[in-house]
Amino acid sequence: MTRHFIDLTDAGSANLRLMLEAARTRKDARKGSPKGTVDADAPLAGHTLAMIFEKNSTRTRVSFDMAMRQLGGSTIVMDAGSMQLGRGETIADTARVLSRYVDAIMIRTDDHQKIVDLARYADVPVINGLTDHSHPCQIMADMLTIIEHKGGLGGAWAWLGDGNNVLHSIVEAGALLGFPVRIGCPEGYDPDEGVIAEARSRGGQIELLRDPRAVVRGADVVVTDTWISMGQAHAEEKLAAMMPFQVTKELMAQAAPGAVFLHCLPAHRGEEVADAVMDGPQSLIWDEAENRLHAQKAVLLWCFGKI
Ligand code: CP
Ligand code: NVA
């Protein structure tokens, strides 16, 4: 069966653990090598990944490209607007055609249904590079970062801000890999109820709170993201509602000793997070960004049946 990586639940907890382990081993093995050198075993030599972007990207674009290079493969990067997809060719026909040329497809799209359809009609693995619903590759990198710094996934992860795509993948990860997730969103901006219900049905410990201090209290990991995601209209009302959930030094002080801060980036400094936290001693954001590369190498290897 073709291995797609659309959501963390597709792979299941055992495979996620294998991927995280492989990401660490491979990252360690190439320490000190120039970034463009191919890993000694070149496991994806001869393989090509096509990437489709319907939305902007810096990290996802470059980290997937470098991941394929380091694994010995290559990429074709396309903005949807310059493809026939942008003129109305269906996702199903796009899937059928690309499957004849390339070995895997990564897509960043606004509409989660598009990636579901792409996977349905493609004969090659399809990877989620962010949809309006989820961002599983980001959370693989986040988990890798926490494992590196804490030797495990830690205790509670606290989320502050918008109930968005990144949060949905954290909720899934918590349920699959056994860490509690405490969520602090202003009323009206909660995550998808279906995602929460599904995670709870898997035994996930998910709490929704309105008091940002209670959310963060005793947490090992504090996470936030932009208050206005790509594709959403700028709304002053939303920004005002979010303000009490800004991650500040004072709020970080409520977290457990040794707590760390994550942000998928790009950040809106002074909105969801204060500079003092972004640039402070608890922030792991640059390691987190680097780990997109290492985590995605493992995701690619899993999709290609090499893990
Ligand atoms: N975190 C993340 O996905 O970044 P980009 O939007 O730059 O890809
Ligand atoms: N929630 C953000 C994540 C960006 C990486 C967005 O969808 O725009």
Question: How close is the Cα of 164 to the center of ligand 2, in Å?
Answer: 8
Catalytic residue ranges: 108, 135, 138, 225, 264, 292
CATH architecture designation of domain 8-135+292-303? 3-Layer(aba) Sandwich (3.40)
Check if 264 has its Cβ closer than 6 Å to any atom of ligand 2: yes
Q: What is the dihedral of CA 37, 41, 45, 47, to 10 degrees?
A: -100
Residue nearest to atom 7 of ligand 2 (CA): 229
Residue 164 pLDDT greater than 90, yes or no:
yes
Q: Give the tens place of pLDDT for each residue, 77-117.
A: 999 999 999 999 999 999 999 999 999 999 999 999 999 99
Question: How close is the Cα of 125 to the center of ligand 1, in Å?
Answer: 21
Longest Cα–Cα distance of the chain, Å, equals: 54
- Position 233 scores a pLDDT of 93
Q: Give the tens place of pLDDT for each residue, 40-74.
A: 999 999 999 999 999 999 999 999 999 999 999 99
Instruction: Decide if 8-135+292-303 and 138-288 have a common fold.
Output: yes
- Position 194 scores a pLDDT of 98
- Position 178 scores a pLDDT of 97
Check if 283 has its Cβ closer than 6 Å to any atom of ligand 1: no
- Position 154 scores a pLDDT of 84
- Domain ranges, ordered by start, for the chain: 8-135+292-303, 138-288
Residue nearest to atom 2 of ligand 2 (CA): 229
- Domain 138-288's class? alpha beta
Question: How close is the Cα of 79 to the center of ligand 1, in Å?
Answer: 15
| Residue 232 Cα: closest atom of ligand 2 | 8
Check if 272 has its Cβ closer than 6 Å to any atom of ligand 2: no
Question: How close is the Cα of 229 to the center of ligand 2, in Å?
Answer: 5
The pLDDT of 8-23, averaged and rounded, is 97
| pTM of the predicted protein model | 0.98
Check if 246 has its Cβ closer than 6 Å to any atom of ligand 2: no
